Amino acid sequence: MLVEPETCPLSELIGEVLSSFDGDGVVLSAPSELMVSADRRRTQQVIHQLLDNAYRHGAPPVSIRVFRQPSHAAVSVEDSGDGVPSDRTDRLFSRFAQVEPPRTRRSGGLGLGLPLAKSFVEAQGGRLWYEAGVKGARFIFTLPLIDTPMEEAHSAAS
């Protein structure tokens, strides 16, 4: 898979998705100084997919948290719905897998969103996984962290 990584502020990528996303009740907690090596378009597709899933299959409010790990920045997208049944979590990232049975499915997805999101993240040197939230579903992905001061990154992009 072709990715074109660049150095960019992670909060900017998230903010651009949020500004075009038609969803209310998103709570964002992100330090603005985290710079990542990321393919802007692919990363925004991942963020959009996780937000879309949170609204389709979960319930608001949806929280997005960004935090620093030793060599990666991590993004957590968590909804307040019922979460994924434990007997179905092993299929979340399988192509064409549907977590909800056809009779109860609230949306007409093909089961490709999460597998594609995972492949986009992995192609950039990160990981994507699911954790059961306190209430709801929590998806977390990581991207390589760049320890470049903000001023240096902006001058390099110019």
Q: Where are the domains of the chain?
A: 6-146
Yes or no: say if 140 and 76 are a contact pair by the CB < 8 Å rule. yes
DSSP class of 96: T
To which residue do tokens 């434990």 refer?
Answer: 86
List, for residues 66-103, the tens digit of each pLDDT value. 999 999 999 999 998 888 877 777 777 776 555 555 44
What are residue 35's DSSP bridge partners? 9, 146
Q: What is the CATH T-level fold of the domain 6-146, as seen in this structure?
A: Heat Shock Protein 90 (3.30.565)
pLDDT of residue 81: 87
Q: Residues, the chain, total? A: 158
pLDDT of residue 95: 62
Question: Residue 155: pLDDT above 70?
Answer: no
Yes or no: say if 21 and 74 are a contact pair by the CB < 8 Å rule. no
Query: Which of 57, 68, 62, 58 shows the shortest CA–CA distance to 18?
Result: 62
List, for residues 95-154, the tens digit of each pLDDT value. 655 555 544 445 555 467 899 999 999 999 999 999 876 678 899 999 999 975 444 434
